[in-house]
Amino acid sequence: MLDLRFVRENPELVKQNIKNKFQDTKLPLVDEVIELDARSRATQKEADDLRASRNKLSKEIGMLMGQGKKEEAEAVKAQVSAGAARLAALEEREAQLSEKILKIMMTIPNIIDPTVPIGRDDSENVEVQRYGDPVVPEFEIPYHTEIMERFNGIDLDAARRVAGNGFYYLMGDIARLHSSVISYARDFMIDRGFTYCVPPFMIRSNVVTGVMSFAEMDAMMYKIEGEDLYLIGTSEHSMIGKFIDTITPEAQLPQTLTSYSPCFRKEKGAHGIEERGVYRIHQFEKQEMIVVCKPEESPMWYDRLWQNTVDLFRTLDIPVRTLECCSGDLADLKVKSVDVEAWSPRQQKYFEVGSCSNLGDAQARRLRIRVQGEEGSKYLAHTLNNTVAAPPRMLIAFLENNLQADGSVRIPAALRPYMGGKEVMVPVK
């Protein structure tokens, strides 16, 4: 969310940013919120003047009563009563205007970084760099669920009977591989200096609206019926929420945390052949990383975060690339974002396995996450997040890139301690 004063002083810049994100329907909101803000400030000034007058008159009443001038005091009381009715009306108008302003400000997108490429949607994202050589083996790579079935490692039919489409049972070596990847990702981030955390898996509505846009919320979040609670779509929501209404001394920054959680998503609009299996599902587990830092340090942390994911995948012999998200593919709160995509030998293309985002002070403004400087001044922190690893989608990349011609799956050295020392997984059928 932008600073209202910034919008008031830079309306054309805000409008151009909206155009760059191809959200032209939001352009009238800029003038509307500026006009509402002018009315709100005029209303507040009149109300403040009335409050000052009331305080002055109240002192006058006390003085007159002390002098025994009851009639004069009653006349002044009448003035106070008349002003009270007007003040009540003004305070009601203040609340109404504030609500309208906040609703609009929550929908005006954040100012994107100047380096973000301009484009309408993810088809115009820009490849930045590749890491590792993508290989297409001479033998055929089956669909990922077929690989898992050879290990008796997945049961989608039972999951469908129990919970419906978009759920799964993982079993045996595949389930162990899933847990091993999560554990390895956890230790990988701890070794890089991040503090491990297991957060609440449900959050209140004020946290939801603090960490994401309304459009994202509607498309992703499951609400707990009858309660002010939502299941998290990623632990980033809960982890950033941890800092709501806090003032952190500057000396305690940056806060670097890595968190484990299950994730729950509606996945509205999911379709197509690659939505089968466990590629796009309603429930999965993820290791995440978040940073709360000083504004001037967020670009540095942004680069370090996505590099962590690249490094992790390369230790598992999975080729990846980074993809700069264009303006139209950025969620409204994001300043800059890069996707990490893994190589799929079966599809002979890359697919998304993680996303790193710098949100500037947008989440901090909504959640009132502040920093106290050494000289006592207070300012908004910057927040960032990135996926470390999100199986089972990561398992697709792992299985395809480590599959051998005989149907076995090679276990890279980094993961073997988590797999009981196994060097290879052998299919049972």
Q: Which residues carry a binding-site annotation for ATP?
A: 265-267, 352-355
Note whether 309 and 340 are within 8 A (CB). yes
Query: Residue 119: what residue type?
Result: G
* Half-sphere exposure at residue 92, Cβ-oriented, CA atoms within 13 angstroms: 6
Answer whether 65's CB lies under 8 Å from 57's CB: no
How many helices, marked H, and strands, marked E, lie in the chain?
Answer: 13, 18
Task: Report the binding-site residues.
Answer: 234, 265-267, 288, 352-355, 385
Nearest to 308 by CA among 389, 376, 244: 389
Q: Output the six-digit token pair for 27.
A: 């352009």
Asked if residues 385 and 356 have their Cβ atoms less than 8 Å apart, the reply is: yes
Cα dist from 137 to 316, 326, 350, whole Å: 17, 32, 15
Which residue in the block uniquely carries the two structure tokens 């995509």? 341
Tokens of 407: 């149907």
Contact 288, 388 (CB under 8 A): yes
Q: What is the DSSP code (8-state) at residue 418?
A: G
Kindly give the pairing relationship between strand 255-264 and strand 195-197.
Answer: parallel
- Residue 261 has phi, psi (to 5 degrees) of -165, 155
* β-pair partners for 219: none
The answer to whether the CB of 116 falls within 8 A of the CB of 136 is no
CA distance 428 to 408: 10
φ, ψ of residue 352 to 5 degrees: the values are: -70, 135
Could you list the residues known to form a binding site for L-serine, using ranges. 234, 265, 288, 385
Rg value, the chain, Cα: 28
Six-digit token string for 206: 């004020």
Strand residue runs (E) in 265-377: 283-293, 320-324, 336-344, 349-358, 369-372
